[in-house]
Structure 1
Amino acid sequence: MGQIHAVLAWFSVAMFLVRGLAFHFGAGWVMDDRIRTLVFGIDFLLTITGLSLWVLLYLNPFLRDGWLLAKLLALAAYTVCAHLAMGSNKFHLLAYIGSLLLLAYMLGVSITRSPWLGL
C-alpha cells in the first residue's frame, strides 16, 4: 500500500508540475476536462491509499505522530495554493511556486517523519 501511495504521489506531483509549466506558457490542453478528471482520479486514489495507510499503521496525528499532522496541514495549504495557481483559468506564478514549496515540504516530512524535517 505504501508503494502504491508513493507512486501515486510522484505521478500527482509530476502532473502538477507539467500542467503548471504548460499553463504558464499558454498551452490550451491544461484545462481540458479529460486532464482534470485524470488529476482528480489520481488525487482521489492518493487520498484513499493515504487514509488506508493511516488506519493500517495505527497512526495518530494528534497524540504521537506530529509529522502526519504537519503533512495534513501542508496538504490543506497546498490545495488552496494549487487552486489559486490554476483554478480560475488564470495562472498565478506566486501561488504555483508556493504550491511547489509545500509539495517539497510534504515530501521531506514523509521521508524524515519529522515536522521539522529532521533539523
Structure 2
Amino acid sequence: MGQIHAVLAWSSVAMFLVRGLLFQFGAPWVMDERVRTLVFGIDFLLTITGLSLWVLLYLNPFLRDGWLLAKLLALAAYTFSAHMAMGSNRFHLPAYFVSLLLLAYMVAVSVKRSPWLGL
C-alpha cells in the first residue's frame, strides 16, 4: 500500500509540475477537462491509499504523529493554492509557486517524519 501511495504521489506531483510548465508555453491541452479528470482520479486514489495507510499503520496525528498533522494541514493549503493556480480554466503563477513549495514540504515531511524537517 505504501508503494502504491508513493507512486500516486509522484504521479500527482509530476502532473501538476508538467501542467504548470506547459501552460507557460501555451499548450492548450493542460486545462482540458479530460486531463483535469485524470488529475482528479489520481488525487482521489492518493487520498484513499493515504487514509488506508493511516488506519493500517495506526497513525494518530493528534497524539503522537505530529508530522502527519503537519502534512494534512499542508495538504489543505496545497489544495486551496492549487485550485487558485489552475482552477476554473485560469492560471496564476504566484499560487502555482506556493503550491510547489507546499508539495515539497509534504514530501520532505513524509520522508523525515518530522514537521520541522529535522531542524
TMscore range, shorter length: over 0.9
Alignment size in residue pairs:
119
Q: For residue 8 of structure 1, what is the aligned residue in structure 2? A: 8
For residue 48 of structure 2, give the secondary structure of its aligned residue in structure 1.
helix
- Could you tell which deviates more after superposition, 20-29 or 92-101? 20-29
**Cα distance in 1, alignment partners of residues 62 and 41 from structure 2:** 28
**Cα distance in 2, alignment partners of residues 88 and 41 from structure 1:** 17
Runs of 4+ more than 3 Å apart: none
Please list every run of 5 or more consecutive structure 2 residues that lacks an aligned counterpart in the other structure. none
Q: For residue 67 of structure 2, what is the aligned residue in structure 1? A: 67
Q: For residue 88 of structure 2, what is the aligned residue in structure 1? A: 88
TM-score by length of 2: 0.97
> Could you tell me how far 1:111 is from its partner in structure 2?
0.3
Root mean square deviation of aligned Cα:
0.7
Q: For residue 21 of structure 1, what is the aligned residue in structure 2? A: 21
**Cα distance in 2, alignment partners of residues 59 and 104 from structure 1:** 22
Q: For residue 101 of structure 2, what is the aligned residue in structure 1? A: 101
**Cα distance in 2, alignment partners of residues 77 and 48 from structure 1:** 19
After superposition, what is the alpha-carbon deviation per residue over 1:7-36, rounded to whole angstroms, capped at 9, x for unaligned?
000000000000011122221101111111
Aligned AA for 1:115? P
> Could you tell me how far 1:98 is from its partner in structure 2?
0.4
